């Protein structure tokens, strides 16, 4: 059994943040995509990475005329500029797939987000729509909010960054720039992965 456990492929956690101009992909557009390698988990535990060392960022051309002004205002991105300067989604998502496969070499890449549901919905839809495949498979997704709820023993809806122990949070600002926020969330993941939870026994002093 021990030898079989040793053969389990490690997970390479990749923090992803997207900015979009509406609530769902298709009618609305993903306008930017940021990602940062957060760390690796194997049978011996989690090892954090420097999230600034391996990163990816693209701004994308909108795919429709529809947008929600309030959603667009969150990122501060200019749809007209992106119409002229943004990357074609098929090109950007192919480049992202190549990057994930490169940084995920020797491991299974896992997308992680806070919360993952919104970012994963856009990311997976865009990957399948524009490349036909996801380097994360259909379920390689970890939600940091669920991870925190599980470790803290709280209901999911009781978990928010404002109520988390301060030592779990990154010292970086949440700027709504996709790469900035992916790096910030990579640090949150590393802290959560190494956190024993609030009810862990305190070490006995020597």
pLDDT at 63 over 90: yes
Contact by Cβ (8 Å): 41, 65:
no
pLDDT, tens only, 146-155: 999 999 999 9
What phi and psi values does residue 178 have, to the nearest 5 degrees? Answer: -60, -40
* 176 labelled catalytic: yes
What are the φ and ψ backbone dihedral angles of 134, each rounded to 5 degrees?
Answer: -115, 130
Model pLDDT, residue 127: 98
pLDDT digit string (tens) for 86-100? 999 999 999 999 999
Q: Which residues pair with 28 in a beta bridge?
A: 25
Summarised one tens digit per residue, pLDDT across range 144-179 is 999 999 999 999 999 999 888 899 999 888 899 999
Among residues 136, 132, 128, which one has the least CA distance to residue 107?
Answer: 136
| Res. 200: pLDDT tops 80 | no
Residue 107, Cβ density class (10 Å: 0-12 exposed, 13-18 middle, ≥19 buried): middle
Which residue among the candidates 138, 167, 174, 176 is catalytic per the annotation? 176
């Amino acid at each position: 059994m021990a030898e079989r456990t040793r053969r389990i492929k490690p997970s390479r956690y990749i923090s992803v943040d997207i900015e979009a101009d509406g609530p769902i992909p298709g009618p609305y557009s993903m306008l930017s995509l940021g990602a940062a390698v957060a760390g690796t988990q194997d049978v011996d535990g989690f090892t954090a990475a420097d999230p600034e060392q391996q990163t990816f960022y693209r701004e994308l051309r909108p795919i429709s005329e529809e947008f929600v002004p309030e959603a667009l205002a969150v990122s501060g991105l200019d749809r007209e500029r992106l119409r002229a300067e943004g990357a074609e989604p098929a090109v950007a998502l192919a480049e992202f797939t190549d990057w994930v496969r490169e940084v995920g070499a020797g491991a299974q890449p896992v997308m992680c987000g806070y919360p993952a549901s919104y970012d994963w919905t856009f990311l997976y839809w865009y990957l399948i729509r524009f490349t036909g495949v996801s380097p994360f498979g259909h379920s390689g997704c970890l939600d940091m909010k669920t991870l925190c709820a599980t470790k803290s023993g709280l209901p999911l809806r009781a978990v928010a960054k404002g109520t988390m122990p301060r030592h779990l949070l990154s010292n970086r600002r949440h700027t709504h720039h996709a790469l900035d926020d992916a790096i910030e969330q990579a640090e949150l993941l590393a802290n959560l992965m190494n956190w024993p939870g609030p009810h862990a026994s305190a070490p006995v002093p020597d």
